[in-house]
Amino acid sequence: MEPLHEGKLKHLEEKANTIREKVIETLLEAGSGHSAGPLGMADIFTALYFHVLRHDPKKPDWADRDRLILSNGHICPVRYVAMAYAGYFPVEELKTLRKLNTRLQGHPHRSALPGVETTSGPLGSGISQAIGVALAARLDNKKHRVYCITSDGEHQEGNTWEAIMFAGKMKHRLSNLTVILDRNNIQIDGYTENVMPLEPLRDKYEKFSWHVIEIDGHSMVQFTDAVAEASAIYEKPTVIIAHTIPGKGVSFMERDFTWHGKPPNKEEAEKALTELRTLGQRIKSEHE
């Protein structure tokens, strides 16, 4: 991974804002889907697809590609938008999100869309899937890395912790696995700490022999530094706990759990896009 110089940082921040705008437009067209999580994870998906991952949109099955597993599949609008801008499929196809016979299902479907590694839907299974992929790579002496994006709410699922314990077993040494935990503190029924408290997450992961890094999930610099640090850890897997703001960039959605599982209507989308376009102009001026 190349260093994140000032010019690249500007490009990524502008791209992330563009991706947020397209997420809003895509959800409006679909008339269903999740808003808060995709907006909150736009910075991380942008950094992954345009800076971190070793991948080739023209060869999505390239054997040496890094693998990206999306466990919390309901935030797939942001993944689809990032993939479209990266060149996996035409941006125009985003208008088909959640429509009949689309490749862009409400949860990613592995056999429907090149570049999607696993089918996701039932929450809590992604880390287990990523462990299987990482263990297979280790057994085959492959050098690619495996990244798994998971939600904080999924950590209320028992099978998540079974996977975490397994990955931390010293004999497996899955240092090729990096989990990115979206710590946005919301789920469909409310705030995580009210529904089922998760803290102390760092302590729990460390007790199960993981390397833990906590970051501001909206800082490209912190995220890319964390990814670089994870690649230098050889004796255990790494989890990056990314503190994010659900609905990031849209004032009336930010930190509001009611936006977890609904799309904007036309009026709300127009308001959101106005805010994001203003934010985009500010990002450009800050780098001039």
Does 156 map to a domain? yes
Does 19 map to a domain? yes
pLDDT in tens, 245-259: 999 999 999 999 999
Question: Residue 268: its pLDDT value, please?
Answer: 97
What does DSSP say about strands 177-183 and 238-243: parallel, antiparallel, or unpaired?
parallel
Q: What is the pTM of this model?
A: 0.96
How many structural domains does the chain have? Answer: 1
Residue 288 scores a pLDDT above 70: no
Which residues span the domain enclosing 119? 6-286
Alpha helices for the chain (secondary structure H): 6-30, 36-40, 42-47, 76-86, 126-139, 158-168, 192-195, 201-207, 220-231, 266-286
Does 31 map to a domain? yes
Residue 17 scores a pLDDT above 90: yes
* Residue with the larger pLDDT of the pair 5 and 221: 221
Does 1 map to a domain? no
22: confidence class by pLDDT, cuts 50, 70, 90: very high
Residue 171 scores a pLDDT above 80: no
How far apart, in whole angstroms, are the C-alpha atoms of residue 43 and residue 65?
Answer: 21
